[in-house]
Amino acid sequence: MALTIHGIFASRAVRPLWTAQELGVPFEHVPTPYQGGATRTTEFLALNPNGHIPVLVDERPEGRVVVWESMACALYLARHHGRGDGHDIAPANPAEDAEALRWAFWAVTELEADALCVLMHRLGLPPQRRDPDKLAAAEQRLRVPLRVLEDHLAARAAQGHAYLAAARFTVADVCVACVANWARPSHDLMQAFPRVHDWLQRCHARPAYLALKEAARR
């Protein structure tokens, strides 16, 4: 198969997996876990010297393309495997491309570290390792970018749009939803930012996402 995505669903690999599934492009999924040493083998390190998932391998007529960094993988897929005609999640013009780029970079720089902290200290870590002070500080800091997202969604709604970057769901929504989702266990934040909460629910109710989630459960 031309496209291979390495990395389990319950990781940053969800970003390219969800993008590929939305685009309807055939791909092989190699569910490499991030624990247990699979990302430290010589073979894996040859694909990604950082030893992280996800990795995307695209066997193209002109040669093999390897992409790591989850947001780069998602944006690459949309750009090179999307139709770009305004009917799928790929950017259809430079303005939509700019939206996808800026929201993807925004998610990793403004949101990711604190959202991950919320996920870990509310759910991921064993209870004895959870730190209420770290959690409270992360939730407090997240109020700044989540306000930006909330206001953006309000402005979009006023124009009759339910998604971030276009009249339809696009890769920009995938990139931000995958990260903002980590803050969902914070009831306070979700209550404070109801548009973010509702938009996250809408994104995660997409058949492509649910299909991947179901496949991961099996």
Determine if 124 is a binding residue for ligand GSH (CB under 6 A).
Answer: no
Q: Is the sign of the CA dihedral 113, 119, 124, 130 positive or negative?
A: positive
Q: Is 184 in a helix, a strand, or coil?
A: coil
Nearer to ligand GSH, 53 or 166 (CB): 53
Nearer to ligand GSH, 13 or 153 (CB): 13
Pick between residue 69 and residue 114 the one whose CB is nearest to ligand GSH.
Answer: 69
Stretch that binds ligand GSH, among 46-54, 82-90, 132-140, 171-179 (CB under 6 A): 46-54
Contact call for residues 74 and 82 (beta carbons, < 8 A):
no
Residues contacting residue 12 through CB under 8 Å, at least 6 positions apart:
52, 53, 54, 70, 178
By the rule CB under 6 A, 70 interacts with ligand GSH: yes
Counting residues that bind ligand GSH (by CB under 6 A) gives 10
Q: Give the separation between CA 4 and CA 27, rounded to whole angstroms.
A: 5
For position 170 contacting ligand GSH by CB under 6 A, the verdict is no
Residue 198 neighbours by CB under 8 Å, 6+ apart: none
Site residues for ligand GSH per CB under 6 A: 11-12, 34, 39, 51-54, 69-70
